[in-house]
Amino acid sequence: MLFFPGKKNQTNRKLIERIILEKYNQYYRLAYSYVHNEADACDIVQNGAYKAMRGSDTLKNPEYAETWVYRIMLNECFGYLKKPGFLSYEAMQEENGMEAGAVEDTYTNVDLQRALETLPERDRAVVILKYFEDRKLEEIADILEENVSTVKSRLYRSIKKLRGILSDESNRNRYEQMCDSKVHLS
């Protein structure tokens, strides 16, 4: 029985607030890796932060607070992508006749970005969490609420797919460069 009914809720709220402030950039990078638009990524993080703060009283184990908030942010990303009418920044640029990524594309490896987009959401999440957010497999399993062995399977399957996609693109790019150089020679 709690003698101070609001004390646990206030403690959780402060903990969640601290985590959000400390990890804001990580949450932003996660959201940006899904939507490729600064404004949309900010919206996702703000909505996730709001939901985490609002639901802080439902947090059962404070030691898992960081994983809990990360899971909320990931669900916000998935929810945003599933919204009807979601149009990625690249698609909007193509509709307007502009080159995709001409203004906001900060990725150094566009081929990798495109290859990641071909993966199913959960597989992409595992790769992003592991290689872009430097999370351990156990943490990823907690965040995605899956077994560690499932996360490992997803990761290795995704890496294999990415290698295949990237090697196909690299071969295709070499072929196109070769064809372009022959056209310039004649």
CATH of domain 107-186: 1.10.10.10
pLDDT digits (tens, 9 = 90+) for 98-126: 554 444 444 456 778 888 888 888 899 89
- The mean pLDDT of the chain is 79
The tokens for 139 are 């943490």
The tokens for 36 are 């490729």
**What is residue 162's predicted lDDT score, i.e. its pLDDT?**
87
**What is residue 68's predicted lDDT score, i.e. its pLDDT?**
93
- Residue 37 DSSP code: -
User: Could you give the angle at which helices 148-185 and 110-117 cross, rounded to 10 degrees?
Assistant: 130
Q: Which CATH architecture has domain 1-105?
A: Orthogonal Bundle (1.10)
Task: Give this prediction's pTM.
Answer: 0.60
Alpha helix (H) ranges present in the chain? Answer: 7-35, 38-54, 65-82, 89-95, 110-117, 121-127, 137-144, 148-185
Q: What is the rounded end-to-end Cα distance, in angstroms, of the chain?
A: 86
Q: How confident is the model at residue 186 (pLDDT cuts 50, 70, 90)?
A: very low
Burial class (CB in 10 A: 0-12, 13-18, 19+), 122: middle
Spatial separation of the C-alpha atoms in residues 49 and 69, rounded to whole Å: 8
Average of pLDDT values for 163-183? 62
- Mapping DSSP to helix (H, G, I), strand (E, B) and coil, where does residue 118 land? coil
Half-sphere exposure at residue 179, Cβ-oriented, CA atoms within 13 angstroms:
6
- Mapping DSSP to helix (H, G, I), strand (E, B) and coil, where does residue 56 land? helix
pLDDT digits (tens, 9 = 90+) for 32-81: 988 888 989 999 999 999 999 999 988 888 898 999 999 999 999 988 88
Q: What is the largest CA-CA distance in the chain?
A: 87
- Residue 121 CB coordination number (10 Å): 13
| Delimiting residues of CATH 1.10.1740.10 domain(s) in the chain | 1-105
| Delimiting residues of CATH 1.10.10.10 domain(s) in the chain | 107-186
Instruction: Kindly compute the dihedral angle of the four CA atoms of residues 92, 98, 103, 104, in this order, to the nearest 10 degrees.
Output: 30
